[in-house]
Amino acid sequence: MNNRLYVALSLIVGLASIGAGAIAPAVAADKLENIPLVWKPTSPMSERAALDMKGLDGAKLQIDPFIDNRADKSLLGLNKSKVPNRKVTTQEDVARFVTYQMKTLMSAQGVPIVDTGGTVVMKGWIKRFYAEDASRYNADVDLELTFTDAETGKILWSFMTSGNSSRYGITYKADNYYEVLSDALVGATHELLRNPKFKEVLNRK
């Protein structure tokens, strides 16, 4: 092989390697796999229907860690704008995330939350925590809850609360998934707190 041909082939191989290296990170960056869980509601609960949390003197709500009952605990959503569809996944603990955010939301509304020694214990199971992105973003959060008298062990109330969120946004963007999932969880929490039975249960009536 003459020197000119050798140099030409070496140059082609080198450029191909550089091109592949430049493309690979772009492809990897485009995938929403194993993304972190981020709390990003677009509006506070105060913008929803007013809540009255007065009259809970002496009540103490203990919220046990949620249990994730979803078949695929890593799945957050699905993008349907391309074929094949693209999954949105996380390696983080969705149950822990939901537990913390619900505690924070409820406490901010005046619900007396305690870590231990509650008069009423709330247990929760995550049935759905999912968003789809097609012509718009749609998210649903479904939570099954039970409230137990801490003293007697009697189940006072079982309740399924749900929240949803829908909006337009640039397709397959992590922030848009964060927003609709956060708003749906705010909605599910609000749906629980606005139910008159919630206050009755905390007062063990």
Sequence ranges of the domains in the chain: 1-30, 33-202
Stretch 45-67: mean pLDDT, rounded? 96
Query: 69-97 pLDDT, tens per residue?
Result: 999 999 999 999 888 999 999 999 999 99
Question: Higher-confidence residue: 119 or 15?
Answer: 119
Residue with tokens 């995330």: 97
Is residue 34 predicted with pLDDT exceeding 50? yes
- Tokens in use for 117? 């020694």
Is residue 9 predicted with pLDDT exceeding 70? no
Q: Give me the pLDDT at residue 82, please.
A: 87
Is residue 188 predicted with pLDDT exceeding 80? yes
CA distance 145 to 66: 9
Is residue 178 predicted with pLDDT exceeding 70? yes
Is residue 180 predicted with pLDDT exceeding 60? yes
Is residue 133 predicted with pLDDT exceeding 50? yes
Hey, which CATH number is domain 33-202, 2.40.37.10, 1.10.3720.10, 3.40.50.10610, 3.40.190.10?
3.40.50.10610
CA distance 133 to 80: 6
Q: What is the pTM of this model?
A: 0.85
Q: Give me the pLDDT at residue 155, please.
A: 98
- Percent of the chain scored above 70 by pLDDT? 85
Q: How confident is the model at residue 3 (pLDDT cuts 50, 70, 90)?
A: low
CA distance 178 to 79: 14
> What single-letter amino acid sits at 58?
G
Dihedral sign from CA coordinates of 27, 30, 34, 36? positive
Q: Give me the pLDDT at residue 15, please.
A: 42
Maximal C-alpha separation, the chain:
94
